Amino acid sequence: MAKRPPRKTGRTCNVGFIGCGALMNNQHIQNAHNSEVCVVHTLCDIKEEALKSTAAKFPPLRTTKDYREMLADDEIQLVVVAMRPEMQARLSIEALRAGKNVYCEKPLGETVEEALAVARAAREAKRHVAVGFNRRFAPAYADLKPRLAGREGAPLMYYRIADHERGGRENTPRMIDELCHIYDILSWLTDSEPRLVYATELSHHNDNVMTITFADGSVGAIISSGRASLENPKERLEVFWDHKAVFVEDFIEARYFHIPGAERVRRYAGRKDIHTPPALSRSFATPKGLDASLDAKKRFSDEWEKMEAGKRYNEKLTKIPVNYVMNKGWGLALDEMALATIEGRKPRNATASDGARANVVALAGVRSVKEGAPVRISPSEWGA
């Protein structure tokens, strides 16, 4: 049994975590450990080594290798699920039927039907599901959304997401597992539903260009690549409307153009992380923040290449999660779900229906690549 962590002040939510993998350690468990709202109540993993290692870093009240034991614990109010995609819908449904609210990583299910089954289970249990579309809570995007209210014309949006896929991620379907974030954020920014999807694929199976047309006439163009560099900024968003524009670079720097009352440039500090020097995270909020991020990526890339080549390398630098240091809203998203659970209200997070919508868009993209033609979709497909 791990040492009991210090008691937190104010209202708190007891959270149980199914899975102690890399994402849980780098994000959800760590964020809950640092949160003023969440209590790391129970950690669950079938692998004893992963369970002990995680508990040593982020001490819980309890640990278990049996998730059913966790679901039977009346003290736990919220369950976080971050497992392989084929397991997430089933585990979410079990947690809901056990009377828990659920925060589930994306994708919510491998199919639209799985995601809709989670939505049905939530309604039947009178509980809430949040899908891990954390970018809705990224400070840079949360600041942008109100600027789009009251617009006259439909926005034109450009989203680039490009990095160097490593390890097992090289074989994952990026259009499904990664771009689901982007489908969601474009719908959220415009408050509009996607209606037409057109996608092409380059010589590499994870290099795609997509356009999504929304019900209000907005259009989003997405460029996605898994064959970029570890050194480049991973994500960039550009939005154009009513002779106005906003550019957001890697969640660190936002530039506003011809928008009354808006700062010309806004910068955002990075998140707290056990592997990242605090000074680096703080530096993102300074005029040299973007360069500081790129310098960190360059150092990471150099050491990673040495490691892959079997040469001596700086292990400490390879542990800095260079694509996780910027504030993409993970902690804020989990805190919102925890607060909603405490207050007995509907959370502002993405819903199971939003998760199903992302699945519909992804599968329409896959079909569009295969057929070489645009694919029409309807809100009825995701239960809207």
Query: Is-contact 173 370, C-beta < 8 A?
Result: no
Report the sign of the C-alpha dihedral through residues 240, 252, 143, 176, in that order. positive
Residue 106 lies in a domain: yes
Are 173 and 309 in a shared domain? yes
Query: What are the start-end ranges of the H helices in 98-156?
Result: 112-125, 139-144
Are 292 and 273 in a shared domain? yes
149/170 Cα distance (integer angstroms)? 38
Are 366 and 233 in a shared domain? yes
Residue 188 forms beta bridges with which residues?
none
- 193: domain CATH number is 3.30.360.10
| Segment 281-287 mean pLDDT | 97
Q: Label residue 330 by pLDDT band (50, 70, 90).
A: very high
Residue 4 lies in a domain: no
- 73: domain CATH number is 3.40.50.720
pLDDT digits (tens, 9 = 90+) for 3-31: 344 456 568 999 999 999 999 999 999 99
What pLDDT is recorded for position 4? 44
51/30 Cα distance (integer angstroms)? 14
Residue 5 lies in a domain: no
Residues in the chain: 384
Residue 226 lies in a domain: yes
Residue 303 lies in a domain: yes
- CA 221, 222, 228: angle at the middle one, nearest 5? 145
This prediction has a pTM of: 0.94
Residue 161 lies in a domain: yes
Q: Give the domain range for residue 46.
A: 13-135+330-351
What pLDDT is recorded for position 340? 97
Are 26 and 96 in a shared domain? yes
Residue 110 lies in a domain: yes
Give the count of domains, the chain: 2
Phi, psi for residue 357 in degrees, rounded to 5: -60, -40
pLDDT at 1 over 60: no
Are 107 and 164 in a shared domain? no
| Sheet of 129-131, strand order | 62-64, 38-44, 13-18, 78-81, 101-104, 129-131
pLDDT at 198 over 80: yes
pLDDT more than 70, % of the chain: 96
Are 200 and 235 in a shared domain? yes
Are 304 and 340 in a shared domain? no
Are 66 and 151 in a shared domain? no
Are 82 and 39 in a shared domain? yes
263/254 Cα distance (integer angstroms)? 9
Phi, psi for residue 255 in degrees, rounded to 5: -120, 125
What pLDDT is recorded for position 170? 61
Which of residues 203 and 81 earns the better pLDDT score?
A: 81
The reply to whether omega before 260 is within 30° of 0 (cis) is: no
Query: Is-contact 100 76, C-beta < 8 A?
Result: yes
Are 90 and 129 in a shared domain? yes
Are 218 and 272 in a shared domain? yes
pLDDT digits (tens, 9 = 90+) for 353-384: 999 999 999 999 999 999 999 999 999 999 86
The reply to whether omega before 173 is within 30° of 0 (cis) is: no
Residue 188 lies in a domain: yes
| Segment 93-116 mean pLDDT | 95
Are 244 and 322 in a shared domain? yes
